Each structure stands twice: as structure tokens, then as C-alpha cells.
Amino acid sequence: MPSRKEQQRGDDDDPLRARVRAIADKRGARSVAVAYHDYETKTGWSYRGDEWFHAASTIKVPVLLGVFRAIEDGRLSLLARVHVRNRFISAAGDRSAFRVAASRDANAEVQKNIGRTMRVQELAHHMIVTSSNLATNLLIEIVGVDAIVDTLSRLKLDSGVTFRRGVEDDAAHEAGINNLCTADGMLAVLRVIEERKAFSEASSEQMLEILHAQEFRSGIPARLPDGVRVANKTGEISTVAHDAGIVYVPDRKPYALVVLTEWDAEKTSGRSDTIARISRAVFDHLTGSAG
Amino acid sequence: MHQLGDLEVVDGLKLPARERQVLRPGELVRGRDGFTRRLPRWFYRVPSWEVALEVSLAPHFKLWEFLDVDVREHELLRVHGPRYVPLAVTLLAAALEAFRREVNTYVHISANGGYRSPAHGLSGHASVHCWGVAANLYRVGDDLLDDVKNISRYSDLAREVFPAFQVLPFGSGVGETDDHLHLDVGYAVVTPHGMGDEEADKNAGPLPGGGAEARRGRKGGA
């Protein structure tokens, strides 16, 4: 940890860093990490970009990469049907089973289809757009944890994203088996999608289309001006709140932004607004809109 | 409107090689219990999903309910068609109909809960589903069968109306279920009228494993 004096010196050199720190401190965040890559100015920046956090639901974006890798390899298709079954084997290694409680899932649509089938494209949509935990675990089961890990490895994303299991796997969590990410790592995931290099143009467009349909907009998009579009994925559990997105500003190239935050468990209000304020600070910094 | 009688009955041993590799008609396979059994040889050929939607196996059960599979099934049976289902599926449908009358409400078979080919991703241990005589029920009326109370209650009811039903007990271990009710009528196979295994064997050659020749007492390998 840098000393207070070193931090102050860093803040003096970097106004954005100072602003991010000020927002985080005022809101009482325990820890904040931010990273962006701007395609307009071809610059990148991060604040505590290599600090590891529990990834929460932002891990669903790397899972999306795994799904589309399986599709591009011909092992899966968007139209393939998947049995919606709410029973999963824990990654804890004890072969115990777990379910995603309906009360712990923001989306009722997938739960409603238990016993039936849904198409891969529907599950991918719900995994991102409504952050369905059940859809996520079904896709992980079909694609395979190892295949997703391999996808991240082949894309050289594993230095900043650690994928190990499905969501709501309490036994694995108790055993210390978690999905983790850094701000720099999640930023690299977004860049893979936006830059359309690792996947076909069609797959990249489809992933972006899903991210654009996001229904949770209280983080990165919330304080941005009208006309700015954001393709994003949020993540929140008891002690973390994150957002990762690509921001499309009219008349300039987009920028990718990741904001990871950690909180005391009892501090439940103001998390999304903290992310929104940091997002606005980055927007002002990049577009010269700072007042 | 298509009916069961419209479906062609086919000898699995005479199917093209690709289909035989997926269905493995007449092959001996070893189950989780250590016993070897012969997979079904006679199938209904279902030309399309639309036909499966129309054909009734019992007053309250359509053929599609026993064929509804997901991406884990071999693509030959899932994407390209036609589909195949062992003749014994009609026995299961009759038994389920008796159960349906007893509960007097909808009985829902889950996806992957009816016939699964030996190539299906969940058929690793020669599951009884490969005989087309097993059904996984996830809901009866408004009752989800995902707890000990409902699974036990409906398994008792099923055995009352059809004592030959085999059910898997509630639990999360091997051979147990905790999110559906498994019912089956044993490893039943149906040989159609006008056809016989011996006569057909003469035309099609011995069964894998040399079953017909062994029964004639010919000398051969162990």
C-alpha cells in the first residue's frame, strides 16, 4: 500500500485519479479499481488496475466468450436447445448438488422454463441482460468450465480473470473457490469483444448486441448524457459492486471502462451511484466536459 | 392428422451405418448395476417433429413428449431427422396414462426425460432411458417434483396404479433423484407382429455379440 504522502503526490500528478479517490472516499467504499481504454485517443489508464476482486456477475462476460468460442468451433449453436434444469454439481469437489434459488435470481423467465428447453441464444441473452444465474449455470454446464478456462487462456485473458465455477455455488465459495478479476483483466475482456479480433465479425456483433440490451443501467450509464449508448454488464454480491462496459459517445470513437468496488457488507446504499459518478468523471476526462 | 399406425416400424439392424452407430440396435451394453442387456432393435421412424407433435401414444400423451431432447443428444436425431424411438415407448405411455387418470391433472415429462439414444450425453451407463421405457416427471399439475414430499407422494401413487413401475428414491446420490420423479417399466423391448428376431437375423446377419449363432449352439470364440 502506498503511504498517504505518496498517494497525495500521485493524485497531484493525475487529476482523474484524485477525482476517483475523492468519490470513493466520500461514499465510504472499502476499495475501488478503475481501468479504461479509449479508442479515440488510443490511450489507456487504470487506478489499482491489478487489484483482484470477487468478479460477481461480471464473470458472465467471460462466460459469454466461452459460449461464442464453442459456437465458432462448431460445438454449439445459438439455436441449440438446452434442458432447463435447476441442479448443478458444486465445484467444491465433494459432488454435492446445489440449486439457484428463485429468490436469488433477478430473472423469472428462465426459472419458469424448468423442465423444458431454451435455446442457447435465449440463455445467453438472459445471462447478460437480466443477469440470470440459472441461465449462466446452464451455459457453463453445456460449454464446460475447462473449455471456458481454455478460451480465456487462448485469448491471453487469464492474467486478469480467473474463472473457476458457476454462480451461487455456496459450497465452492466456502472452500475458497471463486471467480476473480482485476479492472485491467475485465477491460481486456471488453476489448476482445469491441476490437472484433478474436472472434468473427458476426459473433462479435452478436455479443455486443446482447450487452447493449442490458437492463441494469444504474452504474456506468446512469450519469452519462442522453445520446451516449453503453453496452455493459454489472455485478453485485454482498461486498462488491461492479460495472464493465463499452461507452459509445456520438461523434467520437468509444471507450471501454471497468469500475470495480468493494464495500463493508452493511454499506448497501450508494454503491451504484458511486460507479455512476466515477463513470461520469471518466467521461468528463475523456471528452473534456469537466466543469 | 398423423397416427401411431402411420409410423413405419424399422429394424434397427437394417438402418444405414450412421443411424446404427447412434442407435446401436441389438448391442449388448453394461448398466451401472453391472448387468449386460441388449439395446432395442425395433423402432418407430418419426419423419419430422411436426409428426411427433400430432401422434398420440395415449389419450393424454403425445409422441413428442418422449422425444424432447436438448443439445446433449446426437445431432443426427436432433437436427437432421428422421427420429427413432423404440416400440416399447407405447408401454410406458400406457402406464403413464393410468397414472395420469389417477392424479387427474397434467403430467409433464421433462426435456431429456423420455427416450435418449445411447449416444446422448446423459446415457453414459446404459440408462433405461435408452430403451424408451423411462420418464422423468418434473411437474404434476402445479406440483413441482423437486422435494422429498412431492417425489415420495407421487411415486407412491404411481406404484398404486401401476405396480410394475420402478421408481428412483429421493436423494442426491447415485440412483436417486431430487429434482424429478423417475418412473420406468423395466428394460422392456417390443418385437412387432409379422417380424421375429430369428427370421430377421438370417437376413441381417448375427446380432452383435453373436447372439443368434450362440443360441444355435455353434462353436465359436468365447
Asked if residue B215 belongs to a domain, the reply is no
State residue A197's pLDDT score: 83
Nearest neighbour of A142 by CB, restricted to B71, B144, B178: B71
Looking at the DSSP bridge assignments, the partners of residue B140 are B107, B143
- The domain that holds A200 is classified in CATH as 3.40.710.10
In a domain, A58, yes or no: yes
d(CA B149, CA B147) in angstroms, rounded, equals 5
Does position A281 have pLDDT exceeding 90, yes or no?
yes
Expressed as residue numbers, the domain containing A49 is 27-287
Q: How confident is the model at residue A268 (pLDDT cuts 50, 70, 90)?
A: confident
Q: Which residues of B touch A85 (CB under 8 A)?
A: 110, 179
Q: What are phi and psi of A82, to 5 degrees?
A: -125, 130
Which structural domain range is residue B145 located in?
Answer: 4-209
The 10 Å CB-count burial string (b at 16+, else e) for B67-89 is: bbbbbbbbebbbeeebbbbbbbb
Does residue A13 lie within any of the structural domains?
Answer: no
Whether A9 and chain B come into contact, CB under 8 Å, resolves to: no
Largest CA distance in chain A: 60
Residues of B in contact with A83 (CB under 8 A): 69-70, 72, 110-112
Q: How distant is the Cα of B55 from the closest Cα of chain A, in angstroms?
A: 20
Per-residue pLDDT tens digits for A118-163:
999 999 999 999 999 999 999 999 999 999 999 999 999 999 999 9
Residues of chain B with pLDDT under 70: 198-222
Please report whether residue A117 resides in a domain. yes
Distance from CA of B110 to the nearest CA of A (A): 5
Choosing among B49, B67, B68, B71, which should be mutated to test the A contact, i.e. which has the most A CBs within 10 A? B71
Give the pLDDT score at A195.
Answer: 97
E strand or H helix at B52, and its extent? helix B49-54
Provide the mean pLDDT of chain A.
94
Number of other CB atoms surrounding residue A185 within 10 Å: 25
B120 touches chain A (CB under 8 A): no
Query: How many whole angstroms from its chain centre is CA A258?
Result: 8
Q: How many domains does chain B have?
A: 1
Give the pLDDT score at B198: 61
Checking if the pLDDT of A172 tops 90, the result is: yes
pLDDT, one tens digit per residue, over B167-217 is: 999 998 888 999 999 999 999 999 999 887 765 555 666 556 655 444 444
What pairing do the DSSP bridges indicate for beta strands A53-54 and A43-47? unpaired
Residue A5 lies in a domain: no
A117 and B70 in contact by Cβ < 8 A?
yes
Q: Is residue B214 domain-resident?
A: no
Look at chain A and report how many structural domains it folds into.
1
- Residue B201's pLDDT is what? 53
Predicted local distance difference test score (pLDDT) of residue A168: 94
ipTM of model? 0.84
pLDDT for residue B195: 83
- The set of residues, in sequence order, having a beta carbon less than 8 Å from that of B208 and lying 6+ positions away, is B26, B27, B28
Nearest chain A Cα distance for residue B45, angstroms: 22
Q: Cβ of B143 under 8 Å from any chain A Cβ?
A: no
Which residues in chain B are closer than 8 Å to A86, comparing Cβ atoms? Answer: 146, 179
Listed in order, strand segments (DSSP E) in B3-41 are 8-11, 28-30, 36-38
Judge: B70–A96 Cβ closer than 8 Å, yes or no. no
Q: Say yes or no for a CB contact (<8 Å) between B70 and A86.
A: no
Over residues A208-252, the pLDDT tens digits come to 999 999 999 999 999 999 999 999 999 999 999 999 999 999 999
> Which of B71, B113, B180 lies nearest to residue A80, judging by beta carbons?
B71
Distance between CA A270 and CA A285 in Å, rounded?
Answer: 22
Residue A219 burial by Cβ neighbours in a 10 Å radius (0-12, 13-18, 19+): buried
Residues 64-83 of A with CB under 8 A from B: 76, 80-83
Question: What pLDDT was estimated at residue B204?
Answer: 62
Q: Is B111 an interface residue toward A (CB < 8 Å)?
A: yes
Per-position DSSP letters for A67-108, written without gaps between them: HHHHHHTTS--TT-EEE----EE-TTSS--EE---GGG-S-H
